[in-house]
Structure 1
């Protein structure tokens, strides 16, 4: 699509702001052939162009179930899939290596985030999308998430408390047209995903008070605890709060979902971070894995291991729709 055509299409974001639901599917996909003009690329472009209609075909079964689907595109295939100018910050996930823990970078060309308040709707939309994409992609990872009690993670703490609301939500998640540093990303969102598995045995060896000090909030009623002193070990809450050089705090949207299988001893959290500024999440991960100051890593990582790491850009729905032209 040429740039003049893009300017004629109204900017309509994907459903980055869809509400937290009781069920979700996270699919990481890799194209089978990334060469320009390949059948794989043509098939992917066609499915992305039809994403809104495919989603509507499933959503009509229960309009109150809040079915939504957002798709992010990775750096390696952005050019060949979209033909659009690159967002300024789009690049592969940068591995973060600390003295004790590592945030790995893992493969993935597309990230499909399906969510609804009914598991069957998530299942059906995933089935239809993969049927349409058959032969064009391989599934790198499939994770089924669920809401756990009152939006808690499997460690027992409420997750996503600091999420922006109201007018602050689009400001935190969508690249604004006034952002001169990222003119090609207007109406889109950067997406970072990581799959963490927890050692509940290690976590449960800590007392409730010790767990609260690690997280930075009380476990029962989710009250924020005071920040640690300059020379003390910082909590997860403090390390994941990012301010710029001017002292302005930058929010992100966390759509984290628990996942797991007690029968297989698997307990985890799928981190899903939407942001208008990729550097915010990257600085957060550096503070967590390397520490602030370096050497004092996030103690949550002593019970939580990152298995995957991916960066994607969620372009406007209007850009996806234009891929079928």
Structure 2
């Protein structure tokens, strides 16, 4: 089974994130749109050759079960609010994630994909992400340093062979708003303490000096000697004069790793919350999706 095409490529410079709800009685239309989206993506990949153009279509728990698939994507469940509301739940039926090295390629594919779904879905959210200098976030720190590389990307992101859902992936999408005035007022030393890395050099702070509630301290998790890794495909979004922040999107072969990191960030493990949530970021959405392998998408 082959994965959908927005999961593996790294370092893309532009993305479109769309969430939608399926309208009553429109499942067959959605199935047809998914099949057509595969051919459309292949067509535009030829038009935008060399752009690493790719797309992922994911389904929320209710939508996936409506298709009658219970064994595949068996870990999938609705997102639940965490941290007393610090991580709100905004679960929807459908996710469209398009990414590319050029924004025109990502926009073209997302626009034509959405047209295929037509009136069968109601779009609830749409954001456009962009890669900044040196792959830094709006906070000024390099984003995704701990991302798996090379063959470890597929090992981390995709459900392994031998399973009925091999090649599929679990997805988290969260929107974070950033208060950059508050963040800048902290000063570089305090920012580095919050993140757990140096700002300019992107080096991990020594464990002896790292705060347990720093971001790195919250998400660099291990169980039985193995890291609970995820594959980030996040990008900054927004306007300079208005709302801006991070569209956090992660793929993983198991929902467990994703949820473990969230619980750690939002106080579900030991009562400590991520310092980034105190000084920079506010989560305003949260949803889980299952992205079936390409072949299953074509025969829902």
Class of the TM-score when normalised by the shorter of the 2 chains: over 0.9
- Aligned match of 1:65: 51
Per-residue deviation at 1:185? 2.7
| Counterparts of 1:228 and 1:259, CA distance in 2 | 34
Is 1:218 matched up with 2:198?
A: yes
Residues 255-285 of structure 1 show CA distances to partners (whole Å, capped at 9, x for unaligned) of 1100011132x22001011111111111111
Residues 127-167 of structure 1 show CA distances to partners (whole Å, capped at 9, x for unaligned) of 21121111100111001000011111000000000111122
| Counterparts of 2:80 and 2:296, CA distance in 1 | 26
- Aligned match of 1:258: 236
Residues 225-281 of structure 1 show CA distances to partners (whole Å, capped at 9, x for unaligned) of 122579x5431012101212x2211211011100011132x2200101111111111
Is the contact made by 1:172 and 1:250 (CA closer than 8 Å) also made in structure 2?
no
Is the contact made by 2:57 and 2:96 (CA closer than 8 Å) also made in structure 1?
yes
Per-residue deviation at 1:207? 1.2
The runs of 4+ residues in structure 1 deviating greater than 4 Å are none
Is 1:174 matched up with 2:158?
A: yes
Residues 37-74 of structure 1 show CA distances to partners (whole Å, capped at 9, x for unaligned) of x3x11111011112221112222222011110011111
- Aligned match of 1:42: 28
Structure 2 unaligned regions, length at least 5: none
Per-residue deviation at 1:82? 5.8
- Aligned match of 1:283: 260
Residues 151-194 of structure 1 show CA distances to partners (whole Å, capped at 9, x for unaligned) of 1100000000011112211111111135xxxx443211100010
| Counterparts of 2:43 and 2:151, CA distance in 1 | 30
Matches within 5 A, 1:125-140: 125-140=109-124
| Counterparts of 2:98 and 2:247, CA distance in 1 | 13
Is 1:234 matched up with 2:213?
A: yes
What CA RMSD, in Å, does the superposition of the two structures yield over aligned residues? 1.7
Is the contact made by 1:79 and 1:85 (CA closer than 8 Å) also made in structure 2?
no
- Aligned match of 1:7: none
Per-residue deviation at 1:19? 2.3
Is the contact made by 1:95 and 1:103 (CA closer than 8 Å) also made in structure 2?
yes
User: Structure 1 length as normaliser, TM-score?
Assistant: 0.87
Structure 1 unaligned regions, length at least 5: 1-10
| Counterparts of 1:279 and 1:152, CA distance in 2 | 27
| Counterparts of 1:116 and 1:223, CA distance in 2 | 28
Which of structures 1 and 2 has the bigger CA Rg? 1
Is 1:93 matched up with 2:79?
A: yes
After superposition, the Cα gap between the structure-2 partners of 1:69 and 1:159, relative to the gap in structure 1 and judged at 3 Å, is same
- Aligned match of 1:164: 148
